[in-house]
């Protein structure tokens, strides 16, 4: 009888996520759940975004990691508010963890809340954290077959970011291949190709953030 147990866990999570959505809506906060394998550059993308947009928006980050607060420190160094959740071996964040982390923030101030999930392409997809959108990140240092192998993430994500495009000359990653398979799963998927190292391609991502926040405020 394992299946009903799993379903109950997800139902309990969804109830909390619904509460979170109400809270976020009340404060007009755009919430984005960043999901990728370890090492795709979630924290690097956040560092760039938080630095480059800090005069436009008040942004906060919930960092999910198995151990350490290294990433929360990197993010806090940009001046953004950051809370670290150590899952102690747990492979995803859930709505309950996010709800607890929210106590550290003044929600009145925040425009955009980034949830950097635990590096894992599987179960973070199933646990709604009250976000407006899931952002799937992959990097040129990985295989371009991630969308084929982990279809659920790309079906449910609103955005796919291909990071580390500065490495494309040195690796066999085909952006076209990754895009083709991802779009076959989800035709509405927005794709951004960028490099946090060279800063190429960041502007369209920022434009998307401005536009999504604009929609929240209407």
Pick between residue 71 and residue 193 the one whose CB is nearest to Mg ion.
Answer: 71
Binding mask 60-79 for Mg ion (x = CB under 5 A): -----------x--------
- DSSP characters for 34-96? EE--TTSSHHHHHHHHHHHTTTT--EEEEEEESS-SHHHHHHHTTT-EEEEEE-TT-SS--HH
Which range in 40-48, 119-127, 128-136, 208-216 contacts Zn ion by CB under 5 A?
A: 119-127
Pick between residue 16 and residue 75 the one whose CB is nearest to Mg ion.
Answer: 75
Name which of residues 24 to 43 contact Mg ion (CB under 5 A): 42-43
Query: Cα separation of 116 and 46, whole Å?
Result: 9
**Which of Zn ion, Mg ion, none is residue 76 near (CB under 5 to 8 Å by kind)?**
none
55, 107 contact by CB (below 8 A):
no
2-26 vs 95-102: helix crossing angle, rounded to 10: 30
Pick between residue 94 and residue 193 the one whose CB is nearest to Zn ion.
Answer: 94
CB 16 to Zn ion: min, Å? 16
91 interacts with Zn ion by CB under 5 A: yes
153 interacts with Zn ion by CB under 5 A: no
Among 48, 92, 146, 164, contact with Zn ion (rule: CB under 5 A): 92
Query: Cα separation of 215 and 8, whole Å?
Result: 33
Query: Cα separation of 111 and 28, whole Å?
Result: 7
Binding site for Mg ion (CB under 5 A): 42-43, 71
């Amino acid at each position: 009888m394992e299946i009903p147990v799993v379903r109950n866990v997800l139902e309990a999570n969804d109830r909390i996520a619904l509460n979170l959505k109400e809270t976020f809506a009340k404060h007009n906060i755009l919430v984005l759940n960043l999901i990728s394998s370890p090492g795709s550059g979630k924290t690097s993308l956040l560092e760039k975004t938080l630095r480059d947009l800090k005069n436009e928006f008040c942004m906060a980050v919930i960092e999910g990691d198995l151990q350490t607060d290294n990433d929360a420190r990197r993010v806090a160094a940009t001046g953004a508010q950051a809370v670290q959740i150590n899952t102690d071996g747990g492979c995803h964040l859930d709505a309950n963890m996010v709800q607890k982390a929210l106590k550290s923030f003044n929600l009145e101030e925040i425009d955009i809340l980034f949830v950097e999930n635990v590096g894992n392409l599987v179960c973070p997809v199933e646990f709604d954290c009250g976000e407006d959108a899931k952002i799937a990140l992959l990097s040129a240092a990985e295989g371009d077959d991630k969308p084929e192998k982990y279809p659920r993430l790309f079906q449910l994500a609103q955005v796919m970011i291909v990071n580390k495009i500065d490495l494309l000359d040195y690796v066999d990653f085909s952006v076209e291949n990754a895009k083709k398979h991802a779009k076959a799963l989800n035709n509405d998927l927005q794709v951004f190709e960028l490099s946090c190292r060279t800063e190429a391609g960041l502007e369209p991502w920022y434009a998307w953030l401005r536009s999504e926040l604009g929609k929240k405020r209407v």
